């Protein structure tokens, strides 16, 4: 290894490969190298400070209990089946319609925009909601098809997207409920507990051949503020995850054929490194964001710790390999278990605030597509430490700054001179014009994003890959492409705060 190679290793950031060199064993995905920084692109690529709309469509009794569990059951399939059987189809339709309407009417859009500074909402849906139950044939929700045809949740979702756009808020469509379930929990929509989705070809093919293409064509392409499609929520841990890989690849390719710019979100399956490595190996990292959920209130290990211990240990447990892929924290809260509080001295609200602030600090550093708190509203009360609004108002969840980006042209020129001076005499040849192009490209992107509601560039791994490919297309490849990379990274670190 020569002197220049050794010195290059001193810089932060990986030497990134050409994203256009896709896996030769399969058909290449569509290129995103020609980037247009329009409003749709900003919606899809900016850093997000967001919140979930839990129990709007995928019903969870602990959020809206009395309306849903009167007739028993632990999942939406059971709730609505029991409701219909013990009353009537008309009653089931009326209750669902009223729920959608009342939930959406309670959303305080001015607060989200002006106080919470929210950029996007993550909206969990089930496959049974898509096109108002049209894709339920042969699947567990088929007996309830008529209910959803009449209830029209898909129409409600479109109204929600339109309303959000009026406030410059994006919508992340999260397929929370898959046929058979991606995990054994009731929030998948049914309580079979088998998590059979990935291992059932009929279910997988139904999603990738019919449901997902419909969502992309009917919503993602039509509405500029639809920021991405999450193809699974909380996949269970699987050491080999071969079936998960099959589904993800099929879903990625199906979406890419229709809309190559749409971010595709997969679950980390409680092992972020596994999926970052897989995306890098498949060259899917330009198209995909990995979703990780961060809760410190469920495991016995968490319950055995005090609040201070949990806060101190956060960096060990939230350690995303963000040099290989883009990450988003799709769910988190400020909740700690009662056993943790029994081991904690001092003011509870003070600890909650510290816990929330430390989470946001960590997420802002590691999750390049941002974060979504769980959740926005509840039938009764404000949700306490599960509630976004009280935690923002209490200062536990810091809101994003809406100050204008400060692109200091004199500082850019000084950084360029510093770069040239540092490398002077350390090699026979350099291409410092690439460093200059990189930092100026980053600054130009930050300025363009800032024009739309003081947004900041997100999906930094993917965005840099695409800009790098664009630079190579215009100026040719070179052994000194690392200079462009370092210039772009420096611009982001200096001005994208």
Contact 339, 379 (CB under 8 A): no
Residues ≥6 apart with Cβ < 8 Å to 395:
353, 357
152: left (phi over 0), alpha (psi -120 to 50) or beta: left
State yes or no: cis peptide before 375, omega within 30 of 0: yes
Contact 57, 129 (CB under 8 A): yes
Contact 330, 291 (CB under 8 A): yes
H-state helical runs in 107-221: 109-114, 145-151, 153-165, 201-206, 212-215
Contact 118, 372 (CB under 8 A): no
Q: Quickly count helices (H) and strands (E) in the chain.
A: 21, 8
- Residue 187 phi/psi, 5-degree rounding, is -70, 0
SS3 category, 413: helix
Distance, in Å, from the CA atom of 333 to the CA atom of 422, rounded to the nearest integer, reads 45
Distance, in Å, from the CA atom of 275 to the CA atom of 6, rounded to the nearest integer, reads 30
SS3 category, 245: helix
Structure tokens at 473: 């297309």
Distance, in Å, from the CA atom of 268 to the CA atom of 128, rounded to the nearest integer, reads 24
Structure tokens at 124: 């969990």
Contact 484, 435 (CB under 8 A): yes
Residues ≥6 apart with Cβ < 8 Å to 249:
282, 284
Eight-state DSSP code of residue 61: T
- Across 79-180, the runs of DSSP E, i.e. the strands, are 120-126, 170-177
What residues are annotated to the active site?
A: 234, 331
Eight-state DSSP code of residue 218: I
Contact 17, 341 (CB under 8 A): no
Burial 399-436 (b: 16+ CB within 10 A, else e): ebeeeebebeeeebeebbeebeeebeeeeeebbbebbb
SS3 category, 119: coil
Query: The tokens 């995905």 sit on which residue?
Result: 29
């Amino acid at each position: 290894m020569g002197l220049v190679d050794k010195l290059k290793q001193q810089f932060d950031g990986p030497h990134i490969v050409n994203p256009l060199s896709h896996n030769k064993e399969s058909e290449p995905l569509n290129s995103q190298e020609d980037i247009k920084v329009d409003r749709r692109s900003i919606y899809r690529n900016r850093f997000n400070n967001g919140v979930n709309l839990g129990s709007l469509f995928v019903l969870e009794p602990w959020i809206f209990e009395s309306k849903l569990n009167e007739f028993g059951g632990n999942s939406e399939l059971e709730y609505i089946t029991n409701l219909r059987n013990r009353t009537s189809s008309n009653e089931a339709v009326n209750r669902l319609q009223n729920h959608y309407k009342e939930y959406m009417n309670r959303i305080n859009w001015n607060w989200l925009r002006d106080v919470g500074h929210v950029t996007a909402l993550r909206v969990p849906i089930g496959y049974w909601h898509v096109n108002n139950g049209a894709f339920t044939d042969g699947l567990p929700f088929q007996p309830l098809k008529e209910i959803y045809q009449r209830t029209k949740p898909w129409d409600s979702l479109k109204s929600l997207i339109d309303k959000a756009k009026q406030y410059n808020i994006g919508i992340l469509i999260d397929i929370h409920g898959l046929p058979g379930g991606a995990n054994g929990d009731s929030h998948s929509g049914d309580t079979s507990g088998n998590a059979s989705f990935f291992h059932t070809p009929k279910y997988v093919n139904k999603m990738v051949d019919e449901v997902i293409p419909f969502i992309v064509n009917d919503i993602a392409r039509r509405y500029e503020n639809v920021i991405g499609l999450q193809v699974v929520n909380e996949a269970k841990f699987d050491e080999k995850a071969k079936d998960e890989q099959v589904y993800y690849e099929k879903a990625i390719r199906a979406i890419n054929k229709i809309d190559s710019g749409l971010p595709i979100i997969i679950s980390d399956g409680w092992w972020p490194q596994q999926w970052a490595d897989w995306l890098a190996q498949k060259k899917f990292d330009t198209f995909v964001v990995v979703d990780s959920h961060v809760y410190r209130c469920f495991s016995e290990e968490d319950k055995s710790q005090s609040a201070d211990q949990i806060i101190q240990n956060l960096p060990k447990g939230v350690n995303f390999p963000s040099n290989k892929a883009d990450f988003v924290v799709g769910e988190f809260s400020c909740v700690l278990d009662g056993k943790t509080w029994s081991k904690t001295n001092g003011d509870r609200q003070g600890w909650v605030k510290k816990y929330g602030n430390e989470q946001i600090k960590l997420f802002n550093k590691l999750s390049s597509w941002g974060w979504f708190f769980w959740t926005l509203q509840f039938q009764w009360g404000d949700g306490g430490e599960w509630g976004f609004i009280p935690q923002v108002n209490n200062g536990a969840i810091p809101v994003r700054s809406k100050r204008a980006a400060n692109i200091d042209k004199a500082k850019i020129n000084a950084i360029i001179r510093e770069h040239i001076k540092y490398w002077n005499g350390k090699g026979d040849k350099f291409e410092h014009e690439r460093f200059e192009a990189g930092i100026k490209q980053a600054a130009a992107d930050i300025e363009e994003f800032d024009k739309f509601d003081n947004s900041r560039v997100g999906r930094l791994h993917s965005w840099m890959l695409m800009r790098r490919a664009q630079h190579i297309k215009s100026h040719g490849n070179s052994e000194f492409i690392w200079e462009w990379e370092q210039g772009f990274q420096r611009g982001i670190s200096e001005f994208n705060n």
